């Protein structure tokens, strides 16, 4: 029985020695790779930091670009407003001077006041896109004057046209004229269409064609067509 215990003890000691030898071998083997493992971890950490830095730089560059774009658009809008206001002031001065020269000193005071009101209304039509009451982008507005004051292409300056608006400007107690009411009723009834008119102009001859070629020998508008052709040639030196 004692022999068996001694043998068992020897076996256990041998196993422990073998385990210690294996652990020692693994330790010394892995000890040589520790610098390599540390260097690999350092490179991985460095690459991660560089990726984060690049992302931050891209985000900063994008934000800076958007800020510059908004600033540029605001400067363009301010410049456009300034130019339009200056043009409106000049037009008001010219119209008022023309009005003073066209009437005599004997004109009644009430007629003078009416003329001033008319001029003020005309000038207001030019100023209105830059007043607080005008809720659209001034660059989207196109002034016509008659039979409607403005056509507003809402969103056109932003590159995304949302709708087309007919706008009539009235000051104080002014009312719509008969034509303006007719235009309002037609638009509200949605009787609005899109039409493309194709016109052919032959600058090498005395003929102007609109759509299919007509027999202009019997056309009552031959003189008007030739006059239009002459204007185009003179304008573009054709």
Chosen domain end from 72, 93, 123: 72
- So what's the pLDDT on residue 2? 47
Residue 221 in any domain: the answer is yes
pLDDT in tens, 76-112: 888 888 888 888 888 878 877 777 777 655 566 655 5
- So what's the pLDDT on residue 212? 47
Of the ranges 46-50, 145-149, 156-160, 234-238, the best mean pLDDT one: 156-160
Residue 165 in any domain: the answer is no
Residue 88 in any domain: the answer is no
- So what's the pLDDT on residue 103? 64
Chosen domain end from 25, 44, 72: 72
Of 195 and 121, which is predicted with more confidence? 195
The whole-model pTM stands at 0.42
Task: Kindly report the number of other CB atoms within 10 A of residue 96's CB atom.
Answer: 15
Rounded to an integer, the average pLDDT of 14-24 is 85
pLDDT in tens, 166-218: 988 887 777 888 998 999 999 999 999 999 887 766 655 555 554 444 554 54
| Number of domains within the chain | 2
Residue 26 in any domain: the answer is yes
Residue 214 in any domain: the answer is yes
223: domain range? 199-236
Least confident of 6-10, 97-101, 230-234: 230-234
């Amino acid at each position: 029985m004692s022999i068996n215990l001694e043998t068992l003890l020897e076996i256990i000691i041998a196993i422990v020695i073998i385990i210690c030898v294996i652990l020692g071998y693994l330790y010394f083997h892995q000890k040589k790779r520790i610098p390599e493992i540390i260097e690999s971890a350092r490179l991985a950490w460095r690459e991660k930091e560089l990726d984060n830095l690049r992302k931050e730089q891209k985000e900063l560059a994008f934000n800076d670009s958007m800020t510059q774009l908004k600033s540029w658009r605001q400067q363009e809008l301010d410049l456009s407003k300034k130019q339009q206001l200056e043009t409106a002031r000049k037009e008001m001065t010219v119209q008022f001077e023309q009005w003073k020269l066209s009437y005599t000193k004997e004109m009644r005071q009430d007629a003078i006041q009416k003329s001033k009101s008319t001029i003020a209304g005309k000038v207001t039509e030019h100023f209105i896109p830059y007043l607080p009451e005008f809720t659209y982008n001034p660059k989207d507005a196109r002034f016509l004057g008659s039979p409607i004051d403005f056509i507003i292409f809402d969103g056109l300056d932003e590159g995304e046209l949302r709708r087309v608006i007919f706008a009539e400007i009235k000051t104080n107690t002014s009312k719509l004229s008969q034509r303006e009411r007719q235009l309002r009723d037609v638009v509200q009834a949605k009787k609005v269409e899109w039409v493309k008119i194709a016109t052919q102009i032959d600058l090498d001859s005395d003929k102007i064609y609109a759509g299919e070629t007509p027999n202009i020998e019997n056309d009552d508008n031959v003189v008007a067509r030739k006059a239009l052709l002459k204007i185009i040639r003179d304008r573009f030196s054709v």
